[in-house]
Structure 1
Amino acid sequence: MKKTIIIKGIKGNDFKIDPNDKLSVKIAMLFEGHCTIGVYEAIKKYGYTEQRYYQLLKEYNKKGSEGIRDKKRGSNKRPVRNKEITNQIIRHRFLDTEASTEVRSQKLKQNGYNVSVRSVERTITEYGLQKKLINLTLKKKKKIK
């Protein structure tokens, strides 16, 4: 568990900050670095790099506290392969087992589903729907005998 961050106040009135409150920690670091103990002492105290300190300072100067708030990570795009498209890919795989992924992708596009060849390949691989090579090798062995 992290220790409570304390900013020394006048007349013994210290200001305590919960280390789990990321926004308060960042603001306190910027405040102390800019106004009281200096940048190097502040980054040492709060465990940030100098580069990150100046990134946060720049964002704070541009947008205020909203600029330094932790943002949701990852892509903002909606995933292409939702449940309906996944079901359609699997359906097309069973309807025409000999068709290539390019043909399946084209059929889905014709039906109004915007899905790439790569997405079709991923879905087929994830659900283990590739052609089984064991059957092909057994057929070859039977022909040889």
Structure 2
Amino acid sequence: MIEIEGDKRFLSGSQGFILLRDDDEITVKLAMLFEGECEGMGAAKAAKKFGYTRQRYHQLLQQFKSQGAEALKSKKRGPKGNYRRTDEVIRQIIRHRFLDSKASAGVIAQRLVQCGYPIAIRSVERVISEYGLQKKLHLCQPGKGQVEIEAHRTKEKIRPEQCDPQSI
């Protein structure tokens, strides 16, 4: 039988007890099922004692019967995949970037939304940076003389060499 004293839980028997860890959800759920099914407590009382609903108790019981104790471990919640940046959307972002290399992430996002792909500007920026599609810095800037350019990744100032404007 499981005993709860304050925030500590014990599995106890006629010869002694075992202290349960707080993060051991499988043992706690198994103890609830044991008390409900084997100790005669019933589903409603056992579920209430452990902070579950009767419906959840029966769900856990079915999972335990079909898959064993591993089924009592909580699964990851939330989205399992990336539903905004699908493979097709990534291909479209890359396509738009190559078609118009001067287009900003906002412009590309707007074009994709118009084509029926709901995507945020930040998602487009992530794809551009993940695939290395950032705009190249033009080192030669005619008429401006010597300038310092901030490097994108290292954030350090670099001084480009002078170049011939005709070579651009």
Match of 1:101 in 2: 111
- On the 8 A contact 1:93/1:104 being kept in 2, the answer is no
SS in 1 for 2:38: helix
Which residue identity is paired with 2:28? V
Match of 2:71 in 1: 67
State how far apart, in whole Å, the 2-side matches of 1:68 and 1:94 are. 53
Deviates further, 36-45 or 16-25 = 36-45
Instruction: Describe how 1:43-54 pairs up with structure 2 within 5 A.
Output: 43-54=47-58
Instruction: Describe how 1:15-94 pairs up with structure 2 within 5 A.
Output: 15-39=18-42, 40-81=44-85, 85=90, 88=94, 91=97, 94=102
Match of 1:135 in 2: none
Distance 1:34 1:15, change over 3 A: farther
Distance 1:103 1:64, change over 3 A: closer
State how far apart, in whole Å, the 1-side matches of 2:113 and 2:79 are. 29
Following superposition, the deviation at residue 6 of structure 1 comes to 1.9
State how far apart, in whole Å, the 1-side matches of 2:96 and 2:7 are. 53
Work out which of the two has the higher radius of gyration on C-alpha atoms and give 1 or 2.
2
Q: Which has the higher contact order (CA 8 A, sep 6+)?
A: 1
Which structure has greater strand proportion? 2
- On the 8 A contact 2:32/2:47 being kept in 1, the answer is yes
Q: Which runs of 5+ in 2 are unaligned?
A: 1-5, 126-168
Following superposition, the deviation at residue 124 of structure 1 comes to 6.8
Following superposition, the deviation at residue 54 of structure 1 comes to 0.6
Which structure has greater helix proportion? 1
- On the 8 A contact 1:7/1:16 being kept in 2, the answer is yes
Q: Which runs of 5+ in 1 are unaligned?
A: 106-115, 128-145
Using structure 1 for the length normalisation, give the TM-score.
Answer: 0.57
Match of 2:118 in 1: 118
Using structure 2 for the length normalisation, give the TM-score.
Answer: 0.51
